[in-house]
Structure 1
Amino acid sequence: MLTKVTDTSSAQARRGKDIQGIPWDRLNIKREKYRQTRLEQYKNYENIPSSGEVIDKECKQVQKGGNYYEFCHNTRLVKPTILHFQLRNLIWATSKHDVYYMSNYSVIHWSSLSCKLSEVLNFSGHVAPNEKHPGSLSEGFAQTQISTLAVKDNFLVAGGFQGELTCKHLDRKGVSFCSRTTYDDNVITNAVEIYDSLSGGIHFMASYNDGGVREYDMERFQLLNHFHFPWPHTSMSPDSKLITVVGDHIDGLLVDSQNGKTVSSLVGHLDYSFASAWHPDGRTFATGNQDKTCRVWDTRNLSSSIAVLKGNLGAVRSIRFSSDGQFMAVAEPADFVHIYSTKGDYNMRQEVDFFGEISGVSLSPDAESLFIGVWDRTYASMLQYSRRHTYKYLDCYV
């Protein structure tokens, strides 16, 4: 019964119900007016004053009207949360029905098929490993505040505010590995990523505010590489040869994953960046910045970006490419997710428009589903969109 009250289905949305269940007809402000107010009053966080205004003249005018994903479902049973305003990678889909997210101290699994929630890990109490690996803290942690998360296949890696790392196999009970990488004062985990390594095994990389970028294998949880940069927030290329490094600086870096040496600088953004992602082709990648732009780069010519895409409201906090490379989802801190078609040189986009802070955005591995975590005191929820398909072969039966 609770599900019916708190959910919005695609059929209800087609009949005019607000996708978030906001009763605009009972409020003393119309949706269009409230949208205008939000656009005028939302305060974008900047480290470099007026970076968003200065960059306007350089931005590509991208046509709205793309229709790649259609609204499928919204549930307010799911209540995603955020702990750090700049780190918004707390939503991970492992199939078109299964999504993992942070809610306060808990990692929760949501099945959009069964409409059921299940707690995977609770960090409010004591979390300790039940496997023995060299370097693992057998005593574990208590009351860990999770700043960033990665879930892929059957693996989960969570990074904490005090440099904590917790690794879990989703098909095993308990936790496999716990580590505190450093005891520096400023050691928030900025990003974690799970990927297939050059050697064939599954590795993960964690980047920290202390400047450390550490690579581990997911089998024995041994530290394989430790690089140091002034401001790391990292993402790994599909062939595991290159790393993008962005962070508390207007420039980014492209780095060799084997030796940590800089291959190229990335010059163009006007503020600090806390998002990056790679296209599956291994040549194209994107960076998201507090100057309200997403820049798309080609490794064959890094003298300038190939596209500068401007948001509506604030910084670009999360970027995801679809597994087939056809789409790029770009999340602002609140209210807007933009889906760009990569085929037409990023000239066309779909705008997903709602209200609330965004805890993360994730495309399912088959690119069939798009999930958006919304953090809001009243309307916290999980938005789900489904890929639109045009079946041209059916035309012959019409």
Structure 2
Amino acid sequence: MNESGPGPDSLPTLHSSLPNAPTDHASASHDIISAATILATLMDSRPPTSHGEEEMDDDDQDGGIPLVNDVESPVVHPPPPAMTAPASAHWNHVGGLADPFSLTPATHDPPEQHAAALESLTMGQLPASFLVTLGLPEHILTYSILDIEATVHSMLGIEASAYEEHLVVQNKETFLHITDFFHQYAKPPKGASIGLVVTEVPETITRDDLQGDKCDFQGIDWSYLYASREQVRAKRVSFETGRMQPKIREVRRRIDPIPDTENYFSFRRMNTAHRAAIPHFQLRNLLATTSRNDIYYASRDRVLHTDASGATATVVMDLAKHMVEHTQFSVTTLAAAKDVLIVGGFEGDYAIRDLSSTYVTPHVYGTIQDKCPESKSHITNHVHLFDCRTTYTPHAVLCSNDSGLRILDCATNTFTNSFRYPAAVNCSATSPDGRLRVVVGDFQETLITNAETGQPFEALNSHADDVFACAWADDGFHVATAAQDSTIVVWDARYWSRPLTVMRSELSIPRALRFSPIGSGPRVLVAGEADDYISIINAQTFESKQVFDFFGATAGISLTPDGQSLFVANADHKFGGIVELARTGWGRTAHVRAEDGEVVEEERMADWAGEEGLEGDRRVGAGWRERDRRGACAFVGDIMV
């Protein structure tokens, strides 16, 4: 995972970033305390990640940072001896911060300005004045509370962890939050609309609630804002296209988009009470589903469970007590399959939970022991699960930023293999038979490797930048990869000489790929972009697709094992939540052929295998009768084909 941008040491000091600011020690200390006060205020206002009280059903329930209304302020150093009396007056007798709203206008911004900052943070934005105060560029309006926390820690001289160092990396491709964008670029003339700030967000939006511009997928009433959703979308596309890096603009010029003519999924529901938290802008695999009743998503140091109906979240993993090198566990990626849930963290740490137990079972915590000493970062960039060919037990593949790929036996919590590659490994996928593996990372080649030895035997060249996502289809032949250059490439394992097709994303950077599972109907490839778009691509011809658009950052995508529901985690601070899309195209494709001069119409399904193959495949979650009720079986007369 390639990261560029200023580290904590390169951030400007507070007093040097302000025009005509005094440079004496007392004034600098005063400004630092002001920044820390702002941090404490914002920390106390962090919005909840789920609605209502959360049941703590993990063994680690007596620690951690609660995310619902009672977040603790960060620990800061006592003021230096040279601090002036007015500044030191804002410290209480135990060395902590006093009530930020008690600050006097004579030495700090008025309380109403702090209140405005709190409201802005809740809406997913930060005032430009606050960004300047903290030495952050004004034009980047997508900082989170974590970014501010890392910056203030740097100012206060607190040693930054690897986690905090990654937080200050600027993402030049990120879209503006929709609230910022609407207020600054998309709203009608002044006075015609009060904007998105005061828009009420329903806890649940269902298919029956949709009323065009009166209520869209995210519950936004565009008619109330005197601007149609279509108009705002068009302005946003134009604006973000203008901000694109030249290399991505060139890709879009060379590759024509495939038409949006398919209808594989339809909107079913959005639950706004559940928000996944993105710890790093390049890592977007923070959602996993094992059924419609079991949805898992990550929020900093916890994994929460809900269902398609939006039930109150329960904590299935509370990782707050686990520290590695003085860094709190932060979930960077997760995966779930059958009875196993596994997460990875920033320092090579991981945790596994058995989902099959009737009783509440503790998770198993561990960390990689063979860290590369030359690497400064050991982030677990991606994890996926597969069944081992020899033991038939679930194994996890952990892709690390230290150029390592490790195989973990989840049943025994032991590493069976460890492989090294030329640079950071960002993602991998194992073939259905467990023999091959595709490996991608901070190198432009796509490596096809022996799954047991890790040895590459094909190096495929198709991308012009680092690759962040890959997937292997259930037919065993099709392999898809997605890169920072905004391209999506599909290969056929029977012919590695050239790619089957090269597509481009809709608008943003593709960060996650999923092929539909076998037995779920027409084969599709789902591409989750970093912001605003999910493309559901025809994986039979790769010449058409369905586009589902929304406003917000994508934290993860997941298909249920039967392929009938596609879940999307939208991490937008105000209009985010978990979206469910339901299958609509059930797989009957009509073909007409001539037989002895007579025209015969037949139906043939477009799944990864024919009905005969599906009946004998243990991965298929539904029998032929259930698939027939959905229209996912194909017959000619009384004969199944």
With the length of structure 1 as denominator, give the TM-score of the two structures. Answer: 0.88
Point out the more displaced range, 185-194 or 357-366.
Answer: 185-194
- Aligned AA for 1:279? A
**C-alpha distance in 1, partners of 2:238/2:317?**
39
Deviations 1:107-131 (A, max 9, x none): 11111146332111122x2149xxx
Residue in structure 2 matching 1:34, options 214, 224, 232? 232
Identify the residue that residue 232 of structure 1 maps to in structure 2.
Answer: 425
Residue in structure 2 matching 1:7, options 196, 204, 225? 204
**C-alpha distance in 2, partners of 1:57/1:40?**
15
Alpha-carbon offset, residue 276 of structure 1: 0.3
**C-alpha distance in 1, partners of 2:368/2:297?**
22
Q: Does 1:170 align with 2:367?
A: no
Identify the residue that residue 13 of structure 2 maps to in structure 1.
Answer: none
Identify the residue that residue 155 of structure 1 maps to in structure 2.
Answer: 340
Are the aligned partners of 1:43 and 1:314 in contact in 2 as well (CA < 8 Å)? no
**C-alpha distance in 2, partners of 1:216/1:380?**
33
**C-alpha distance in 1, partners of 2:504/2:567?**
22
**C-alpha distance in 2, partners of 1:259/1:201?**
18
Residue in structure 2 matching 1:244, options 430, 434, 438? 438
SS in 1 for 2:202: helix
C-alpha change, 1:257 and 1:348, in structure 2 (3 Å) is same
**C-alpha distance in 2, partners of 1:335/1:100?**
21
Are the aligned partners of 1:156 and 1:168 in contact in 2 as well (CA < 8 Å)? yes
Residue in structure 2 matching 1:187, options 378, 399, 406? 378
**C-alpha distance in 1, partners of 2:582/2:449?**
35
Residue in structure 2 matching 1:331, options 528, 548, 570? 528
SS in 2 for 1:11: helix
Alpha-carbon offset, residue 201 of structure 1: 2.0
**C-alpha distance in 2, partners of 1:291/1:277?**
17
The structure that is helix-richer by fraction is 2
Are the aligned partners of 2:485 and 2:509 in contact in 1 as well (CA < 8 Å)? yes
Query: In the comparison of the two structures, how many residue pairs are matched?
Result: 380
Deviations 1:126-164 (A, max 9, x none): 149xxxxxxxxxx99972011111111111111111111
Alpha-carbon offset, residue 213 of structure 1: 0.6
**C-alpha distance in 2, partners of 1:390/1:372?**
21
Deviations 1:295-319 (A, max 9, x none): 1111111222111121122211000
Identify the residue that residue 66 of structure 1 maps to in structure 2.
Answer: 262
Unaligned runs of 5+ in 2: 1-50, 53-200, 589-627, 632-641
- Aligned AA for 2:340? F
C-alpha change, 1:317 and 1:391, in structure 2 (3 Å) is closer
- Aligned AA for 1:248? D
Q: Does 1:346 align with 2:575?
A: no
Are the aligned partners of 1:126 and 1:142 in contact in 2 as well (CA < 8 Å)? no
Alpha-carbon offset, residue 45 of structure 1: 10
| Structure possessing the higher relative contact order (Cα contacts under 8 Å, 6 or more residues apart) | 1
Are the aligned partners of 1:39 and 1:312 in contact in 2 as well (CA < 8 Å)? no
C-alpha change, 1:96 and 1:193, in structure 2 (3 Å) is same
Are the aligned partners of 1:44 and 1:313 in contact in 2 as well (CA < 8 Å)? no
SS in 1 for 2:313: strand
Alpha-carbon offset, residue 57 of structure 1: 5.2
Deviations 1:248-278 (A, max 9, x none): 1222211111111111111111111110011
Equivalent runs, 1:84-95 vs 2, <5 Å: 84-95=280-291
C-alpha change, 1:50 and 1:243, in structure 2 (3 Å) is farther
Identify the residue that residue 215 of structure 1 maps to in structure 2.
Answer: 407
- Aligned AA for 1:34? V
Are the aligned partners of 1:317 and 1:332 in contact in 2 as well (CA < 8 Å)? yes
Deviations 1:328-377 (A, max 9, x none): 1101101000001212x111211001100000111100001000000111
Unaligned runs of 5+ in 1: 129-138
Identify the residue that residue 393 of structure 2 maps to in structure 1.
Answer: 201
Identify the residue that residue 297 of structure 1 maps to in structure 2.
Answer: 491
Identify the residue that residue 378 of structure 1 maps to in structure 2.
Answer: 574
Alpha-carbon offset, residue 44 of structure 1: 10
Are the aligned partners of 1:51 and 1:271 in contact in 2 as well (CA < 8 Å)? no
With the length of structure 2 as denominator, give the TM-score of the two structures. Answer: 0.56
Point out the more displaced range, 50-59 or 166-175.
Answer: 50-59
Are the aligned partners of 2:517 and 2:563 in contact in 1 as well (CA < 8 Å)? yes
The structure that is strand-richer by fraction is 1
- Aligned AA for 2:224? R
Are the aligned partners of 2:273 and 2:310 in contact in 1 as well (CA < 8 Å)? no
Alpha-carbon offset, residue 65 of structure 1: 1.7
**C-alpha distance in 2, partners of 1:242/1:386?**
32
Deviations 1:158-200 (A, max 9, x none): 1111111111112341112422442752111111111111112
SS in 2 for 1:33: helix
- Aligned AA for 2:231? K
Deviations 1:12-31 (A, max 9, x none): 12665211011212225432
**C-alpha distance in 1, partners of 2:208/2:335?**
32
C-alpha change, 1:239 and 1:391, in structure 2 (3 Å) is closer
Are the aligned partners of 1:290 and 1:314 in contact in 2 as well (CA < 8 Å)? no
**C-alpha distance in 2, partners of 1:76/1:115?**
11
Alpha-carbon offset, residue 390 of structure 1: 5.0
List 4+ stretches of structure 1 deviating above 6 A. 43-46, 139-142, 391-395
Identify the residue that residue 269 of structure 1 maps to in structure 2.
Answer: 463
SS in 2 for 1:39: helix
RMSD of equivalent CA atoms? 2.6
User: Share of identical aligned residues, percent?
Assistant: 28
SS in 1 for 2:233: helix
Alpha-carbon offset, residue 232 of structure 1: 1.3
**C-alpha distance in 2, partners of 1:90/1:142?**
20
SS in 2 for 1:41: helix
Identify the residue that residue 135 of structure 1 maps to in structure 2.
Answer: none
**C-alpha distance in 1, partners of 2:447/2:394?**
24
Q: Which has the larger radius of gyration?
A: 2
